[in-house]
A and B are shown apart, each in its own frame.
Chain A
Amino acid sequence: DAGITQSPRHKVTETGTPVTLRCHQTENHRYMYWYRQDPGHGLRLIHYSYGVKDTDKGEVSDGYSVSRSKTEDFLLTLESATSSQTSVYFCAIRQTTGTDTYEQYFGPGTRLTVT
């Protein structure tokens, strides 16, 4: 257990509304990631952060923004939700203390439905 929580765990929202998902970690890891999981695609990276206020885009970043004002929290915002953003969203951390072997540890996921 890497001390990662996600909130909410489930959300149903309407097209066009803003949505913010929260990832919280308790172990002071520098790197945090947001992925989405869709059938037939595995997980795909949306955005990642390498420190407070330091973020970068992943391969499917269109329509998403992120913020990291504290080490422990990484927020994912859908500015105007669309049905194509219906998905399961996973947050992950990477442990870089000691030898960095690049594995990531995942939160429990948030199931988002956009109607």
Chain B
Amino acid sequence: AQSVTQLDSHVSVSEGTPVLLRCNYSSSYSPSLFWYVQHPNKGLQLLLKYTSAATLVKGINGFEAEFKKSETSFHLTKPSAHMSDAAEYFCVVRGSYNQGGKLIFGQGTELSVKP
């Protein structure tokens, strides 16, 4: 069965410092993986997606993620945090083929950015 585990429920960084949000996945086949962001009281926005074309995936707003099969990880990074990055981030994997393409969400990591 497919699943994701976000290793930190909360991450706090200072503005201008790097961001690392960690995600491990479990999948019985080549996975489709995503990162979504949710700003306070807002909907979810797709940050980036991995679909086996390239292991280093670039997304919006300077975020990127690297797919590492040997480590079953898909960590999200950004070189320099901005105050506007404060939000909740979800690591997501596509469910099994017979599940209608449903998405399976991690529990979320709340990112705080200090001035």
A contact set with B: CB distance below 8 Å: 31, 33, 40-45, 48, 50, 56, 58, 90, 92, 94, 100-109
Contact = CB atoms under 8 A, between A and B. Distances in A.
Given A33-B102, A43-B105, A90 B49 contact: no
Contact of B43 (A44, A58, A94, A108): A108
Contact of B32 (A90, A101, A108, A109): A101
Contacts of B44: 43, 90, 106
A56 B45 CA distance: 25
B53 to A, nearest CB: 9
Contacts of B34: 103
B103 A45 contact: yes
A78 to B, nearest CB: 20
A100 B32 CA distance: 11
A56 to B, nearest CB: 6
Nearest to A58: B102
Contact of B46 (A40, A105, A107): A105
Contacts of B100: 31, 33, 48, 50, 56
B103 A104 contact: yes
B101 A31 contact: yes
Contacts of B49: 101, 103
Contact of A42 (B42, B46, B102, B108): B108
